[in-house]
Structure 1
Amino acid sequence: MPIATTLEERLTELEVRFAFLEDTVAVLNSTLAAHDRLLGDMREEFRRLHAELGVVRSSLSHDSASEPPPPHY
Structure 2
Amino acid sequence: MQHLEEQIAHLTRTVDELNTVVTRQQGDIDRLARRVEMLLQREADRAQEGSGGVVFGDERPPHY
> Normalising by structure 1, what TM-score?
0.65
Match of 2:9 among 15, 31, 42: 15
Size of the alignment, in residue pairs? 51
Following superposition, the deviation at residue 14 of structure 1 comes to 0.6
* Bigger RCO (CA 8 Å, 6+ sep): 2
Report % sequence identity: 10
Question: Which residue in 1 is equivalent to 2:57?
Answer: none
Once the two structures are TM-superposed, the CA of residue 8 in structure 1 deviates from its matched residue by 1.6
Q: Which runs of 5+ in 2 are unaligned?
A: 52-64
Instruction: List 4+ stretches of structure 1 deviating above 6 A.
Output: none
Name the residue aligned to 2:38.
Answer: 44
